Amino acid sequence: MKSVLHRGPVAKLGDLSETRYWVYLLLFPSLILLLLVVAYPTLYGFVISVREMRLTRPALNGWVGARHYIAMMSDRVFWISLKNTAIWVTAAIAIEVTLGFIAAVALNRNVPGTKLFGVLILLPYFLPNVVAGHMWALLLDPRLGVINDLLVRIGVLSTYKAWFADPATALAATILVEAWHGFPFFALLFLAGLKGIPEDLYKAAAVDGAGPVRQFRLITVPMLRTVITAAVILRVISLVNSPDLLLVLTGGGPGNATQVLSLYAFQTAYREFNFGYAGALSVVMFVILMVFASLYIRFTQVTKE
């Protein structure tokens, strides 16, 4: 055994790993990073939400307590945004999960050519939001849109339709674009999950007389539970918090038909320069997400091993 004096750094680290502080050492780098980069901005956001901070009216700045939150209750646009956010997120997630699942199941059968199909099906996720948004704006354009042209040719429409100009279809059209862009995320994760389920389980169930539907319900879904939960939470957070796609496609119109909370906060901050109110909106979004996440996790009982 080498004398203690001659042990190299790796060995020393190895010694360190035997101590009770090993866990904290492992967590330390990421924790520090997150605290440094995220904690201050988040606190700042909370603080701003109880202050008035309107860039163009410096005289009004200062502590205002819960005024923004009270004003929010009677803000018509806030409630519309809230409703639209709920619809948008729920519909998008539902479609993305369904499509992702179907894709995963199909890819999992590993028929010849799966590798190629796999890459092609995952392509939409690789595009930046900016590009995807403009591209679909062109596809659905009321004058230049090829989808309109195709629909007219096959007789579904009589003239080009202005999908984003009609409040009845605007939200649905944006949901379609978002679903197209986001479902590969689920497809990939589900595929991985599916591949991890041992074939024997299915064979055993088949021997017991379970048909494909029961197999699905009793084997597939439970095994995928953690994957589904994590993926859904991550995606919901992402959808609630980022206005990129809607900013490009509709800007919240027509007439607030596609206004969502994230876009509303963005416009309040950078068009009205009312950072206090935008901060309050952000805090509300944060709380909503937190409540959703805890409820959802509890509901699916995922953290129980």
Partner 1 sequence: MIMFKTSRGRRLMADILTYIVLFTMTIFCLGPIVWMFLTSLKNEADIVTSQMQYIPRSITFQNYRAIWTQSNFPVLITNSFVVTAITVAICVATGTLAAYAFSRLSFRGRDRLMLSYLLVRMFPAVMVIIPLFVMMRTVGLVDSRFGLALAYTSFLLPLFVWMLKGFFDAAPKELESAARVDGSTRLGAMGRIILPLARNGLVASSVFIAIAAWNEFIFALMLTTGQGSRTWPVGLQLMVGEFQLPWGVLAAGGILSILPVVVLFAIVQRTMVQGLTAGAVKG
Partner 2 sequence: MQITKREFLVATAALALASGVRSASAATAISYWHHFASQSEVAGLMKIIELFGKSHPDITVTQESIPNSEYMAKVSSAVVAGGRPDTGMVIAERFADLTAMGALTDISERVNGWKEKANLPENRWTGMSQDGAIYAVPAYAFVDWMYYRKDYFEEAGLSGPPKTFEEFVTACQKLTDPAKGRYAFGMRGGAGAFKYVIDVMEAFGSPIVKDGQAAIDKSAAVEAITFYSSLFLKDKVVPPSAPNDSYRQIMEGFRTGQTAMVWHHTGSLIEISAALKPGVQFATAPMPAGPKAHIARVAYAGNGIMKDDNIDAAWDWISFWGEKDAAIALLEATGYFPASTAALDDERIKSNPIYQAASQTLDFGRLPNSFVGAAGWSENVVNPSFQSVLTGQLTSEQAVDRMIEGLETALR
Looking at the Cβ atoms of 118 and 141, the one nearer to partner 2 is: 141
CB of 5 to partner 1, least distance (A): 18
Is the Cα dihedral 76, 82, 85, 86 positive or negative?
Answer: negative
**3 state DSSP class of 133:** helix
- Residue 131's Cα: distance from chain center in Å? 18
Residues 154-213 close enough to bind partner 2 by CB under 8 A:
159-160, 162, 164-167, 170
Stretch that binds partner 1, among 57-65, 76-84, 86-94, 286-294 (CB under 8 A): 286-294
Is residue 211 within 8 Å of 242, Cβ to Cβ?
no
13 scored as a contact of partner 1 (CB under 8 A): yes
CA 234 to chain centroid: 5
- CA distance between the termini of the chain: 41
**With CB cut-offs between 5 and 8 Å by kind, which of partner 1, partner 2, none does residue 174 bind?**
none
CB of 164 to partner 2, least distance (A): 4
Instruction: Tell me, rounded to whole angstroms, the distance of Cα 42 from its chain centroid.
Output: 19
> What DSSP letter does each residue of 27-71 carry, written as one string?
HHHHHHHHIIIIIHHHHHHHHHHTEE-BTT-GGG-EE-TTHHHHH
- Residue of 232, 129, 237 whose CA lies nearest to 189: 232
Residue 45 interacting with partner 2 (CB under 8 A): no
Please report, as residue ranges, which positions from 263 to 292 form the binding site for partner 2 (by CB under 8 A): 267, 269-275
Q: In the complex, what is the shortest distance from the CB of residue 72 to partner 2, in angstroms, rounded to a whole number?
A: 14
Q: Does 144 bind partner 2 (CB under 8 A)?
A: yes
Which region among 19-27, 140-148, 207-215, 276-284 touches partner 2 (by CB under 8 A)?
A: 140-148
Binding site for partner 2 (CB under 8 A): 55-58, 77, 141-144, 159-160, 162, 164-167, 170, 250-257, 259, 267, 269-275
